[in-house]
Structure formats: structure tokens, C-alpha cells
Structure 1
């Protein structure tokens, strides 16, 4: 065990470098910025759908009003994410530029939104009205949104760094001067996206966002399997075990799948089909990370009521409230769990056991996967039951997970 920890410690600089990667950080921070949209829209989703479990259905006008708010928030998630990711990526690019020659992140956000729309939406025109297809403007377009944000930031940096801009006399007010400074990089961005969209559609017959989904679908499918889930959530715990914030590294790489699978589950449930996706945001919050990374909810209660050491009891009492709300740093560093060989096996494998139990219930017992998003600070057992729509099997699964975590720890 000590040799294993020594090997892991040697890799810590590499893990830290990954955590500081500006692309992953931009995805993480951009995604965090749109979480209020996800949570807010899910309130309407819960109100509209959960009563159906008990056979109650809202009148059509109320039901349509509830779903309208959901569709006009969650339905444009990718547009918002293109803007927020572009903003955070521009901030990262600005750290490499002089203070007096920075990228205008507002202009960058606008360019990313337009570029994303060019890559992901088709025009719809009839005799009565015209508009554009919204299929990929929500969670299905997140990967394209990230790509649009990064391409925009790279183009802006290229032109701003080399001062390839429209320069105005010093007498011109700064806000007017900035407008002209943005013209060239903004125009080049939109032209690049526009030309690429024309070429891509001519070659393949569909939009780029659809192509991205087709390319990454096998990866999403593999990630939703037993091995894929074990690798993803085992790595998340392993990073934290060596003191590197695991979710900051792992979550940006699966963010698009987490949200897209939640949306697919909800759509399947509404269509009377089995919501079979396991790799979802709700599963990560309330099954894998029940009580924080490492599934430490059971452990903190064990410290409080079963530990023979007075020191461990004190740690448990101090950490029990934050851990109940999925903030387990006090426990990780006070026990300590980080780099403690005694806790290596349960800390890494309890989350894997939890997600496998969820998958078994979904695959073999017919339980629907997570369909509703709640704030990650909702206590694990409550979030599990609500996120799964109060299904009877969810109570059985929750009890089994708590027993398995107790046995592992």
C-alpha cells in the first residue's frame, strides 16, 4: 500500500497540471455559471412530471405553461454555455497578454454565441412563419458550444496579441475605440464559422452539432458501462486521495454527457419508455458523491457514533453537518483521509460500488435513471429519492447503498 501511495504521489505534479489546464478550467467554470439555469428549470420539470407517478396530470394549459418555462431555460442551455465558457476562456487567454491589450470578453461571448448557432441550428421556413431548429440548442449541443468557445478565444488571442485591429486616434473615447478594435477578430470568427458550416453541411448533409454527437456517442455509451463508470469515478476519488480536487479534473470531461443523459432520461420517461442512462448529474451528486467525493456520508456517522477514538469522534461531530450537505473537506483533511492508506480502498471503491448498484437497479430491475436536477448541496438521501422521482425501488436502492458503504468503510 505504501508503495502504491508513493507512486501516486510522484504523479501529483502531473495531476496538478491537468487541474490547471485552461481548457478544462474554462469548461468547468463555464458550466458552473449555467448551473442556476439547470436547477431553476428542473423545479418546473419536477412540478410538471412528479405528480404523474401517482396518476395526477395537470390540465393542458397549466402543463404547457410549466413546460414552456423549462424549454425556454434548459432548452437554450448550450447557447448560454457557449457564452460563459468563452468568457472564462478569454479570461485565461488574457493572463498571457499585456494588461493594456486584453481580449474584450463581451465581444468574445457574442461571437461564440453566433458561431455556435451557425454550427448547430437549421433554418425552418413555412408559408406561415420562419425560425430555426432548437434540437441542439439545449444539452445536446454542449460539446459544440465548448468547441465554438475555444475557437473564438483562440482567434481573438491571435489578432489581439499581434495588434491586428482597427486602431482609432487617442482622442476617441475608450468604449468607441474598443468597438472598432473588436471588428476584425469578431468578423474573422463569424466568417470562419460560416464557411466551415457551409462546407460541413455540403459534405455530410447535416449540421456540425449532429456530427459531434455521432462521433462521441460511442464514448458516451462506453462511459455508461460498468468499466467506464468505474474508471470515471474511481479516478475522481483517486485524485482527491492524493490531495488534488478530483471533480475539477474529471467533471469537465464528462459534463456534456451528464446533462445530455439527464435530458434523454426525462424525454424517455415522458414517452413512456425506460430512462436507462446511468451517467447523469443526479447520479454523480446523490449516489457517487453522497456526502462528498468518496461517498463519505456513512463514514462521518461512523466517526460520530462508533469510533473508539475520542479524536475521531470529535472530527465526526465537527464534520457531520457539512458532510450531510456534500462538503466533506473537513473530514478529508482532519481525519485525515487524504493519503491515509487505511482509507484508500473504501474511499476509491465505495463510489464505484454505489454507481454499480444504481446501474444494476436500472438495467435489471427496470428502475428509471435520474431525470431531475437538484442543487448538489441537497442531502444525499433526499436528493437520491427526489432525483429518481420517488420511485419505490429508489428507497430499496438507497438502503442497499448505505449498507454497502458501511461494510466498505
Structure 2
């Protein structure tokens, strides 16, 4: 078992450390606020400002249509240029990770190549049923919104790779002398690389369109985008990927850098198609879209652990579990559940792993059929994963309370599913005959073990113990930077209480290469334990790296983490 887990962890580490997947993941994170804003104005324009909606007796139809113009402009600057943003963001992120001195140039090359791939003329339908005509000098939003996401991804990867390889050749660089400003010098160094890369894209595009008598966009749509969207929006394909996601998490491997770059782009395309259909008054074409996962199967976080916390509060016979549940239910409401996964724990816990993996799939199946049969509305507005349950169902469905009722039903089912496993788990804890099994479940690896209590107290009790951290930069790192931000706040509070001036912050693993040179200590959260060797390899002994004690992390015990940090520097 240990060997297989090590093999899975090693493979996952390599995949999560893959530079293209990391760039893709980081770029989607940056794009999320724009999608949230688009979803908000979809809701405003087509629910609140619907001439046939519930506001029709309050605001005139003409007034509604007039003020819809605000939302339409917002959609033009968010949803309708998503592919353009990704072409720039992915190239920028990839160039940064490959340590290119001026990543903005790589981003502009990607943008230029993306528009090189656009058709020189498009078919436009004339009003009142007239024949279509070919019009040049325009790029329709259909090519720059989520419909062009895969074209943007491929373009960014290819153009940045070609550009960086060509620009690395000294023979193609132009030296203007030391007196020239750095930005001007960088621009001239990249001059030939820019010209060659864009020319290659233009020549390749012309050749392909001539040979196949079709545009690159249409080829990518047919060969890549449509098959992937069909795979991920079909119930069997979606269930397969989400089951793998939960399985990896239950084994202590955070799946976002592994599964999400595969799962999320097609679901984002499906989300945009639903939003466009809703705005046009048509039936949304997809049941499964990106927020479908979070609205129905991630209530409380991966594994829908909000149901587990409610089960503990309702039926747990252990006061320690009840106290723990009440402590972590606040972040759980916002779908942050690392404290539950690593603190209860769920990770490597045979009894709790089963409902953690299986129950979300039950929720997805129920929600899929409920939507298919018309009992609830399709998801038509993008809702970020951190929006609490019930509110997320109302927003995502365009204001349909039936979706909220479905979420309540699913949470109740989740409590019922988790309950027998929770009772069995607590019995195993209280049963002396199975104590060794529990010890194996909850055992902390030596490298994660807490510092000897007496040594910690002695270190913390010395008058000047905290001075070793004064001025030190300490960074807590997790997958998204959400759970660690709360732990960092607790650490700051304790540090201030003992007069320690350490600079404590939280960030995500994607920022590693940007933050480690001036950092003194990186503390990895439990969900990044499998990435420890990769992080150490990256920082190359330029700063200390340690894994946080899972119990200290799950209980947000800032005091114990600070005391452990003191021993590392002493």
C-alpha cells in the first residue's frame, strides 16, 4: 500500500509541477473575477431587468432595456474577451515560470499570434432573413469568448515556446550598448524572435487554411473542443473525473493542479454556452457546467464535508469532535474544508473516505436527473466556488428557489450518508481493541511530527526566544492560499502578543518561484505534503522549508506553529 501511495504521490507531484499545467491553472485563477462579474450582470440583466419578470410592474420595459446597456458593456469586457485574456495570461505565466526577463513581450507575442489565427473574413447574417455575406476587418465575439478558449490555450503554449526558444539564441539578439534603458534593450533583443514567431504562425495558418479549406478555429472546435466538452459534460465522464478528484484528495494529494486543468476548460466553455443561451432566451444546452460541481457536489468543500460537520454536531458522542466541528464550520460554510480533511481526519481514514468519495457522486446524479426532468433550472450564471451553499444555488440558477431546495435535500441526504460511517469511526476510537488501527490512521509522519512538548515550551519560554524570528519573512503555502490565510492570521496574532516582528503571509503554490528568494521560511500546508521535494528542489536551499503539523493546521493553532518556527531558527 505504501509503495502504491508513494508511486501515486510521485506521479502526482510530477504532473502538478508540470509547467504548462501550472501556467494554465494560475491563468484561470486570475480570470475568475471577470467571470464572476459576468455572472452577476447576467443575473441583473436577465432576471431583475427582464421585461416579463417580477419587476415588470415596478419598472417599465423601455427603462429596463435602456439600463441593460450597462450589463452588455460589462459582458463585452469580461465574458466576450475571455479567450483574449487567457492568450495573454497563459503566455505571461509560462514566460515567468521559465524565468524570461520580460514576460510582457511573450504575452504580446501570444496575443498577436492569437489574432493571426483569426479568419480574415467572417459570414454575417443580414437582418430580416437576408442571405449571409462575407465581411472583412472584424472578429466576432464568438471567436474571442469561451468558444475560443482552446484555441487561446494552444496558441499561448505554442507561441511562447517558439518565442522563448528563438529569443534564447545570442545570434538573434541586438546589443545597443549599456546606456540604453533595459526595456528598450529587451525589446531589441526580442526583435527577431517576435518577427519569426509571428511570421511562422501566419505562414502555418495560411498553409493549413489553404490545404483544408477551413479556418484554424473550426479545426480546433471539431478536433479538440467539442470532444472534450462532450466528455466532461456527459454524466459518465464527469463522474469519472470527479471520483478521481475526491480519491486523490482522500489520499492526501490536492487534485487542483492535476485534474482541474483537464476538467475546467471544457466546463468553462459549457458554462459560457449556457450563459449565452440564457441571455438569448433559449434553453441552456448543458446540464453539467463548471459551477454544477461546486453547487451540488462541493457543499462545504470537496467531499461535501458540510454534511459531515452537521452529522458531528447532531449525533457525535465525542465532545472533542463536536468542539472541532463548531470551530471549523465557519470556513466550511465558505467551502474551505482542509481543516476537516486533515484534522478530523478524512485523509487515509478508511471509514470516512468512503462517503467522502461516494456521496458527491450521488449528489451529482440526483442533480443531473432533477435538471434533466425539469424539476430545477439549469446553471446559467458563473458562481465562484467560495459562495456558500443555498446562495450559490439561487445565484447559479438565475434566481430559482427550486435549486436551493435541491441543495437542502442533498445536504440532508449527505448527513444521512455520513452518519453511519461517523458512528462507526467514533466507535473504533473508543474501542480499545481497534486502537492500533486508529493510531495508524492518525499517525503523523516523522517529518510532520510536532516538536517535543518540553523543548517547545523551553524554547518559547526563554525571554528572548521570539527574537530569532524578528524581521524574518515566513510564508504559509497551500493550493489556493485560502485556508492558510486564516492560519496566518492566527500566527500574526500570537507573534504580536509576544512582541515578535516576523513578516507572516499566506500564498498559493503557484507563487513559489516569485516569493522564495527573499523568504526565510516556507511552511507547507498538509495538502502540499506530496510537493515537499519539488518545493525543496525549486528553492535550492535559499530558504528553509517545513511541513506544518496537520493537527496544528486543522485547529488553526498559530501559537504552536510559531513555537515550531522558533526551534527551526534556533
Scaled by the length of structure 2, what TM-score is found?
0.66
Matched, 1:91 2:96: yes
**Within 5 Å, which residues of 2 pair with 1:228-239?**
228-239=237-248
Shift of 1:356: 1.5
Look up the match of 1:107: 105
Look up the match of 1:190: 198
Alpha-carbon separation, structure 2, partners of 1:335 and 1:127: 63
Corresponding residue SS for 1:197: helix
Determine which of 42, 52, 75 is the counterpart of 1:45.
42
Shift of 1:291: 0.9
Look up the match of 1:136: 143
**Within 5 Å, which residues of 2 pair with 1:2-401?**
7-51=4-48, 52=50, 54=54, 56=56, 59-94=64-99, 102-123=100-121, 130-163=137-170, 164-216=172-224, 217-365=226-374, 367-401=376-410
Alpha-carbon separation, structure 2, partners of 1:146 and 1:27: 8
Structure 2, unaligned runs of 5 or more: 125-132, 419-570
The change in CA–CA distance for 1:407 and 1:9 in structure 2 (over 3 A counts) is farther
The change in CA–CA distance for 1:263 and 1:129 in structure 2 (over 3 A counts) is same
Rg comparison, structure with higher value: 2
1:263-295 Cα offsets, whole Å, 9 max, x none, are 111222334432241332211222221111111
Shift of 1:328: 0.6
Alpha-carbon separation, structure 1, partners of 2:107 and 2:285: 35
Q: Is the 8 A contact 1:120 1:144 kept in 2?
A: no
Structure 1, unaligned runs of 5 or more: 95-101
Shift of 1:81: 0.9
Corresponding residue SS for 1:380: coil
Scaled by the length of structure 1, what TM-score is found?
0.91
Identify which range, 255-264 or 318-327, moves more after superposition. Answer: 255-264
Higher RCO, Cα 8 Å, sep 6+: 1
Alpha-carbon separation, structure 2, partners of 1:158 and 1:10: 33
Alpha-carbon separation, structure 1, partners of 2:112 and 2:157: 13
Alpha-carbon separation, structure 2, partners of 1:359 and 1:128: 41
Alpha-carbon separation, structure 2, partners of 1:199 and 1:54: 54
Corresponding residue SS for 1:246: coil
1:310-334 Cα offsets, whole Å, 9 max, x none, are 2211221121001100111111111
More helix by share: 1
Alpha-carbon separation, structure 1, partners of 2:404 and 2:333: 18
Shift of 1:75: 0.4
1:160-200 Cα offsets, whole Å, 9 max, x none, are 33323223323333222111011112112211221122122
